[in-house]
Amino acid sequence: MSDPHQPATPTGTDPADIERRSALAEVLGKEVWPADRDRLIAKAQEATAPDAVMAQLRRLPAGQQFANVQDVAQALGLGTEQERF
């Protein structure tokens, strides 16, 4: 039986995906949502985002609205946390 106090990576994620999603969240903040790809790219440019973040945002589909970083992560194919029981 595992210790419930030990940190764990939820099913469906890996540490690299978590880092990528964290970098997106840090650059985009909370005030930008909902937003489409162009607005997210503009926000990231204002924040002088790293090239890796800019490259991820440019991969997003045009014309789609994103409600939060979770939506962006899913559109990019990054693993996202599932609800744990």
Domain ranges of the chain: 31-79
Residue indicated by tokens 């964290």:
22
pLDDT at 79: 74
CB 76 within 8 A of CB 59: yes
The pLDDT profile of the chain, 85 residues, written as one tens digit per residue, is 444 444 444 555 578 888 999 999 999 999 999 999 999 999 999 999 999 999 999 999 999 999 999 999 999 998 765 544 4
Predicted local distance difference test score (pLDDT) of residue 30: 93
End-to-end CA distance of the chain: 15
Decide if 80 contacts 13 (C-beta within 8 A). Answer: yes
Cα–Cα distance between 64 and 78 in angstroms, integer? 17
CB 60 within 8 A of CB 37: yes
